[in-house]
Amino acid sequence: MASFQCEKKYANDVQAVRSLKSQELFNKSRALVVEKECLANDAATKLQIVVVEGTLKNETKEPLSIMDSKIYAGHFLKEFPDTVSKSDDFSMAALYPKGVKAAVVYSGTNRIGVECGWLLAFTDTEATGRRIYAECGRKGKFDNINWEQIEKKLDASGETAKPHDLITATAVYASIANSDGKSVVVATFFG
């Protein structure tokens, strides 16, 4: 019986820490949006804020480096990492209904030394809802990105993306979901 109570207390403690971190993230998000949108501080408590928190995981043999990015809507609390060795994160916020919409491309080598690229795009807006899109393949594919085309593909996508490229043996597994009132993006780059 004591073991069950200890497990229950631990679970409650973990949930309390998560709630506190979520509240801190919302407070920082609200302050950022007030500043970036030039809003009065007294309006801050009435704002509806969209928050996206993301984790990027690298399952290739070398670190990945940022190649390009596009912010369609929203503001960074923590920018996309310049390099992803194993795992790193980012966060964005914006006013609802405009929301957050962004994309990033990382480059690196696959397991046999071929230069490759991995693209991740995500959105959480009133117009689109939560969506995620990804691509991977040879690095040259990402040299001149048509961001309008990526946006159209993103808007037509779903809540998971699992592209793979047979030639380079690269893949991405990405998802976007609701968690504690915010969107959570998780993407793993393989190669």
Locate 120 and state its tokens.
């991740």
Q: How confident is the model at residue 139 (pLDDT cuts 50, 70, 90)?
A: very high
Q: Please tell me the pTM assigned to this model.
A: 0.83
- Return d(Cα 3, Cα 127) in angstroms, integer: 48
pLDDT at 102: 99
pLDDT bin (cut points 50, 70, 90) of residue 46 is low
Amino acid at the residue 70:
K
Q: What is the DSSP pairing of strand 160-161 with strand 129-138? A: unpaired
Express each pLDDT in 56-113 by its tens digit: 999 999 999 999 999 999 999 999 999 999 999 999 999 888 999 999 999 999 999 9
**pLDDT given for residue 44 in this prediction:** 54
Residue 24 confidence (pLDDT) above 90? no
Set out the domains of the chain in order of their start, with CATH numbers.
48-190 (2.60.270.20)
Among the residue ranges 4-18, 52-66, 98-112, 127-141, the one predicted with the least confidence is 4-18
- Give the C-alpha separation, 172 to 168, whole Å: 12
